Each structure stands twice: as C-alpha cells, then as structure tokens.
Amino acid sequence: MTSPLAENLNNELQQAHPKVYEMLSNLGKEIFYPKGILSQSADAKSTKYNATIGMATNDKGKMYAGSLNNMFNDLTPDEIFPYAPPQGIEDLRDLWQIKMLNENPDLSKEVISRPIVTNALTHGLSLVADLFVDANDTILLPTHNWGNYKLVFNTRHQANIETYPIFNEEGHYTTDSLVETLENFNKDKVIMILNYPNNPTGYTPKAEEVKTIVAAIEALANKGTKVIAVVDDAYYGLFYEDVYTQSIFTALSKVNSNNILPVRLDGATKEFFAWGFRVGFMTFGTKDETTKNVLEAKVKGLIRSNISSGPLPSQSAIKHVLKNNKQFDREIEENIQTLKDRYEVTKEVVYDKKYMDYWKAYDFNSGYFMALKVNHVDPEALRKHLIDKYSIGIIALNNTDIRIAFSCVEKDDIPHVFESIAKAIDDLK
C-alpha cells in the first residue's frame, strides 16, 4: 500500500511533469521522505533546548573525542585519498573484532565472521534487507521502534512489518508479548530486529530478560522457523544501570541451531561520538568457515553494486584511535559519564510525584533517549506548542508518546525542560 506521503509526491510530479512520473520504477513511486524524526528535528533547529536529535551535545557544541578530531592532522595521503576496499580496511576489521571480543567475554572468534565495514548502521540494515528480505517476508519489531526500519524493509523491500509491545500498561519493560508472539509464529522464516539500547525508549534488558528472549528465539527455531536475528547495536556501551552489558548478539551466537543466523550491526557512530564519520560494521554469527566466506563475498558484491566502498579518511581515523587508544578511551569515558549524569537527573525528575498526572515514563536505563506516554494532550500538538512557546524541541512518536533526548540537554537544564513540558500540557488541556 502506497504511503500518503508518496502519493502526494506522485500527484505533484504527475501535474508538473507527467512524463518523468511515467519514468519512475515501482520503488521510485513508492519511496518518500518520511515526516518523522528528521523533519521534527528540523522544526526544532532554532529552539534553545533541542532534545530531538540522536547526537550528544554540550555547551560548546557537539560532544566528540579530541584525539579523534586531531587524527586528521596525522593521516598520510595514502590514508586519505585512495579508495577503500568494499569490505573496508583490513586492519580496521581486525581491530574492531578485537574490540568486540574484549567487550563480549562470552564471545569467541571461532563463532563469528570478521566484521565488514559499512557506511554506518542504516547502510548495514539495507544490506541485511538486500541479502535476506523478499516481498511479503515478516519483519518482527517491538512497537517502540526506529521509524527508518519501515522505509528500509517495507517501502524498499515490500516486507510485512509485525510488532509486539515491550512495555506493559504501567510502562515497565516486559518480554511476555515477545515470547507469546514467537510461540504463535507459524511461518517458515522471520527477520527479527533486536535494538538495545532501544531507540526511542532507552531500555536495555537485564541478564535474565536476555535469557528469556534468546530461549524464545531458540524454541521458535527448534520448531523449524528460520530466524535472521538482526542485532541493531547503534547505542551499544551506553549503559547506566545493571543491565546485560554484552551484546545480545553474543548470547544468540552461543545457541546451537542451524535455523538461527545472528547478524550484528554496530559502529563508531554513537559509540565514538562520531556521527558524521559513517563507519559501521556487519558481523555474522556462524562457526562454519564456508558460510562466513560466502556471506562476506555476497556483502562485498552488494556494497560494490551500491556505494562501491565507504570513505577511507574516516576509516583510517577510526583505525588509528583503536590502535592508540589510551587518551581516546579516556575521552570517550568522560563523554559517557556526562550522559550518565544527565540520565540520573532525568530519572529523578520524570518520576517526581508532581508529574504523575502529566505522563507515564517508559522504563529506561541506557542510550541517548527516554520516552513518555503523555496524558490529556495530543503529542504532535504538544510538540508544536513546546517549540512556539517554550523553545523546546521534542519528538512526537505516535498518538500517545513523546521522545526526549537527554543527550542534548545540559544536566542543570533538564528539570526546566520537563517542568516546561508539564506547563505546556496544562496550556493545551
């Protein structure tokens, strides 16, 4: 079914230049620019408190690691100007694998492929779709999910998206619906997207919850369903409480089932506060060497036929800070501590009893964001009112929820932002 946004674009083109419209492919007619997070962020660009964007800022601008910024002064011409291989710099692939193994002590080199460099995580998702998704395949997502999944899997590949809630009526995280959904799933194949810390809610499961999720996936595979378990680790490492700090990819890679293929997508984007570098990685969970080689060759072919290769300068810079990481690691930890401090203030404020009538917070413990189910008002009307009257930018997620990026609000300003949201709700009641 064509999106109304695509239909509007098509109607405009038909009126302006019907012959060009007739030239469009089926995908060309179905594609559209979503009115989601990016357009809402654009609306909030001039606000004083812009809590919309998936980046981290401080009073000086964007958060970054100085040693990574300085790296561009030290790169040689050979590290800047040539083409990178489609699969990425070989040294970088090995260094990222070492990083993965250090951060995931239960993971072994034998059960994973070498990471393939992608042009960040959205490119990785597109590669997953190209490699595994046919029209009418099922993509299984939590109800609270990143809006771009729909564009990648549904609009571009005509997959069917099915969702399940990950929060109960009280806003607490639950695995019950996921387990029930998998128990009742009766198709031959499913592509699952597991995104923790979750965007937009900022929740990462605890160890027991991960066990439950993995057991449910294993049970489905044992019934004969082929499961492509795609782990979107965009916000990996940004943990502020006692959660399962290894990737769920690690837990899935330990399952002995030929019907499960774990695929991990991660990268420097959020982990290294290097959003514009567009350096991501794609790793498969399999013991079989032939399978590793074939999948790598196919992904290389997809990259070659799409972007040809990723940018060499940013890959070279990431390679160098992974090799010379003492100062860099300190800078990253400082940034994470800043986010943790903001998280703690946010947690204290949103659960204040004086706001009980205004909203219900969904459980959060990690990442850049948190989400509220707001009472009495329409989230989109609230979003616009906050921009106009309070110079505050937030994201309206649906007809009940909003997302606030505490990653973009100074710690001392967080109480003011939430107090203003409450005032705005009063204004609109």
Tens digit of pLDDT per residue, the chain (429 long)?
A: 788 888 998 999 899 898 888 988 788 899 888 777 777 888 888 898 888 888 888 888 888 788 888 877 888 889 998 999 999 999 999 999 999 999 999 999 999 999 999 999 999 999 999 999 999 999 999 999 998 999 999 999 999 999 999 999 999 999 999 999 999 999 999 999 999 999 999 999 999 999 999 999 999 999 999 999 999 999 999 999 999 999 999 999 999 999 999 999 999 989 988 999 999 999 999 999 999 999 999 999 999 999 999 999 999 999 999 998 889 999 999 999 999 999 999 999 999 999 999 999 999 999 999 999 999 999 999 999 999 999 999 999 999 999 999 999 999 999 999 999 999 999 998
**Going from the N-terminus, what domains does the chain have, and what CATH number goes with each?**
34-54+329-428 (3.90.1150.10), 84-323 (3.40.640.10)
SS (H, E, C) the chain: CCCHHHHHHHHHHHHHCHHHHHHCCHHHHHCCCCCCHHHHHHHCCCCCEECCCCCCEECCEECCCHHHHHHHHCCCHHHCCCCCCCCCCHHHHHHHHHHHHHHCCCCCHHHECCCEEECHHHHHHHHHHHHHCCCCCEEEEECCCCCHHHHHHHHCCCCEEEEECCECCCCCECCHHHHHHHHHCCCCEEEEEEECCCCCCCCCCCHHHHHHHHHHHHHHHHCCCEEEEEEECCCCCCECCCCCCCCHHHHHHCCCCCCEEEEEEEEHHHHCCCHHHCCEEEEEECCCHHHHHHHHHHHHHHHHCCCCCCCHHHHHHHHHHHHCCHHHHHHHHHHHHHHHHHHHHHHHHHCCHHHCCCEEECCCCECCEEEEEECCCCHHHHHHHHHHHHCEECEECCCCEEEEEHHHCCHHHHHHHHHHHHHHHHHHC
